[in-house]
Amino acid sequence: MIRTQVGIVGAGPAGLLLSHLLSLEGIESVIVESQSRAHIEERVRAGVLEQGTVDLLNEAGVGDRMRRQGLVHHGIELRFGRRGHRIDFQELVGRAITVYAQHEVVKDLVHARFTAGGQIFFEADSVSIHGFDGDDPRIRFRHAGEQRELACHYIAGCDGFRGICRPSVPAGALRFYEKVYPFGWLGILAEAKPASDELIYANHECGFALMSMRTPGISRLYLQCRPDEDLAEWPDSRIWEELQRRFQTAEGFRLNEGPIFQKGVTAMRSFVTEPMQYGRLFLAGDAAHIVPPTGAKGLNLAAADVRILSRALAWRFCTGSDERLRRYSEICLRRVWRAQHFSWWMTSLMHRFNQDSGFDHRRQLAELDQVTSSRAAATVLAENYTGLPFQLPGEEL
Ligand code: FAD
Ligand code: PHB
């Protein structure tokens, strides 16, 4: 039997950052993760960090590599009707975003946990949670062939959308709000110099495409596809042809092509759990909510959740009062729904919808025209994309 103050399921950004923030508050935690360390440190996911996330990582002392290797961007391009239109974040809202891969954040956090003597059980099997509706929460799992039990005061369910924590709550205790989109993203990583210094979001009759990057020599590109798209039907030549088509401009823009070394398809959904807590179980990050990636909000929301949770737990262990823990869900959900709205809006603005008679596409072009010609409309986009302040009114924890 192992004892700790907070038992955390999942070593994604939410679980790792929570564990790190708790340790800075002098609170012990143990993480139980089903995958190997190599797997989580290589898993290709998000790339865009809001200013608030960057500040949080810096303040928590895990921002050294991000400051050296992250690419600071002061705007994005919206491309439609074969023309590019820049949204200047710096000028509109005085904020920037940082492009730094999620698995690099994960590496920095794992390193920080081990340096501080933190405990992470990787490759844990048959993970289950118990007793969180009373005052004796437990996490059971198998590790290296042995059955283990972790006794803790609280459990943080940071195990992503397909984890076990959310489904362990008794039926009927939580409410779920969901929207599934009729498309997905085919994403690639290629050894090719990004053709632009900033991200390009393209709305094209054939479907959405996004040009992002990881380093000055590696492009990260996405194109809208079917949610169940078969990668076998997408040889590299077809991917490049389709990407070139969707990014083309009147001036003859070309993406730089190069060897593709990673390919994947992601389905798209919006999903919210209410409340994000049950008894002594607190859900954070993708375990509680999912956004379509168009607004680049998922990782940032996970960071915002665990910032609130770590403070509420610190208050509980320091004063004995669980008043802040009781407000956890309510505080997080306000930001979550704002991000849901923005992600849905960006998704609806940029993607081709099935059975479009042409009306939807023309409506999108009219809206894009407004977003790129009205300062007020551009400011709304810039404000949301770069991220809401990390402390919304009422979030004073
Ligand atoms: P996860 O990263 O999913 O971590 C959960 C962890 O729990 C995993 O390590 C998993 O192995 C573990 N786990 C699962 N089940 C169990 C179990 N039973 N027992 C123990 N451990 C378990 N977000 C952005 O902010 N910006 C972006 O640019 C962006 N782009 C994206 C692009 C793509 C293609 C995708 C797929 C996502 C993108 N996101 C983006 C979303 C972002 O990646 C997620 O929101 C983020 O990973 C959430 O972190 P998390 O820690 O909550 O969950
Ligand atoms: C990425 O770089 O992976 C990325 C960037 C912006 C998004 C989604 C993903 O909206």
Structure confidence by residue, pLDDT tens digits, 7-24:
999 999 999 999 999 999
The dihedral sign for the CA sequence 5, 11, 17, 18? negative
Task: Point out the ligand 2 atom lying closest to the alpha carbon of residue 213.
Answer: 2
How far CA 166 is from CA of 140, 172, 174, 234, 282, in Å, comes to: 16, 12, 9, 35, 9
Report the relative pairing of strands 200-202 and 209-215 from DSSP bridges: antiparallel
| Residue 346, pLDDT above cutoff 80 | yes
The dihedral sign for the CA sequence 269, 376, 387, 99? positive
- Looking at residue 220, its pLDDT comes to 97
Confirm whether 201 is a catalytic residue. yes
Residue with tokens 């990881």: 214
Task: Work out the percent of the chain whose per-residue pLDDT is above 70.
Answer: 98
Mean of the pLDDT values across residues 277-292? 98
**pLDDT band per the 50, 70, 90 thresholds, residue 36:** very high
| Residue 241, pLDDT above cutoff 70 | yes
Question: Ligand 2 mean position to 214 CA, how many Å?
Answer: 10
User: Of residues 73, 74, 103, 153, which has the active-site annotation?
Assistant: 73
- In whole angstroms, what is the distance from residue 328 CA to residue 316 CA? 12
Question: Ligand 1 mean position to 108 CA, how many Å?
Answer: 16
- Looking at residue 354, its pLDDT comes to 81
- Looking at residue 108, its pLDDT comes to 98
Residue 252 half-sphere exposure, CB side, CA atoms within 13 Å? 0
Which helix (H) or strand (E) segment holds residue 210: the answer is strand 209-215
Mean of the pLDDT values across residues 271-275? 98
Which among 347, 337, 306 is positioned nearest to 52, based on CA atoms?
306
For residue 68, the cross-strand partners are: none
- In whole angstroms, what is the distance from residue 362 CA to residue 172 CA? 42
| Residue 391, pLDDT above cutoff 70 | no
**Phi, psi (deg, nearest 5) at residue 259:** -60, 130
Mean of the pLDDT values across residues 36-63? 95
| Residue 300, pLDDT above cutoff 70 | yes
List the residue whose alpha carbon is closest to atom 4 of ligand 2: 47
Residue 65 half-sphere exposure, CB side, CA atoms within 13 Å? 14
Which among 271, 325, 318 is positioned nearest to 297, based on CA atoms?
271
What token pair was written down for 199?
């991200």
- Looking at residue 397, its pLDDT comes to 60
Is the omega angle on the peptide bond into residue 275 within 30 degrees of 0, that is, cis?
yes
| Residue 395, pLDDT above cutoff 70 | no
Terminal alpha carbon distance of the chain = 33
List the residue whose alpha carbon is closest to atom 6 of ligand 2: 296
- In whole angstroms, what is the distance from residue 34 CA to residue 128 CA? 11
Report yes or no: 285 and 273 within 8 Å, Cβ to Cβ: no
Structure confidence by residue, pLDDT tens digits, 117-175:
999 999 999 999 999 999 999 999 999 999 999 999 999 999 999 999 999 999 999 99
Count of residues making up the chain: 397
Does ligand 2 lie within 6 Å of residue 294's CB atom? yes
Which three-class secondary structure state does DSSP give residue 389? coil
Mean of the pLDDT values across residues 301-318? 97
Confirm whether 293 is a catalytic residue. yes
Instruction: Give the number of other Cβ atoms within 10 Å of residue 137's Cβ.
Output: 21
Give the distance, in angstroms, between the CA of residue 25 and the centroid of all CA atoms in the same chain. 25
Confirm whether 297 is a catalytic residue. yes
Question: Ligand 2 mean position to 36 CA, how many Å?
Answer: 25
Structure confidence by residue, pLDDT tens digits, 71-99:
999 999 999 999 999 999 999 999 999 99
- Looking at residue 170, its pLDDT comes to 97
Q: Who's near 351: CB < 8 A, 6+ residues apart?
A: 181, 183, 203, 207, 208, 224, 294
Report yes or no: 13 and 285 within 8 Å, Cβ to Cβ: yes
- Looking at residue 392, its pLDDT comes to 59
- Looking at residue 290, its pLDDT comes to 98
Confirm whether 385 is a catalytic residue. yes
Question: Ligand 1 mean position to 393 CA, how many Å?
Answer: 28
| Residue 388, pLDDT above cutoff 90 | no
Task: Work out the percent of the chain whose per-residue pLDDT is above 90.
Answer: 95
- In whole angstroms, what is the distance from residue 26 CA to residue 18 CA? 12
Instruction: Give the number of other Cβ atoms within 10 Å of residue 21's Cβ.
Output: 23
Confirm whether 227 is a catalytic residue. no
Residue 17 half-sphere exposure, CB side, CA atoms within 13 Å? 33
User: Of residues 74, 103, 153, 297, which has the active-site annotation?
Assistant: 297
Alpha helix stretches (DSSP H) within the chain: 13-24, 37-42, 51-59, 64-69, 89-93, 102-115, 165-168, 236-247, 298-319, 323-326, 328-350, 359-373, 375-386
Residue with tokens 């042409």: 358
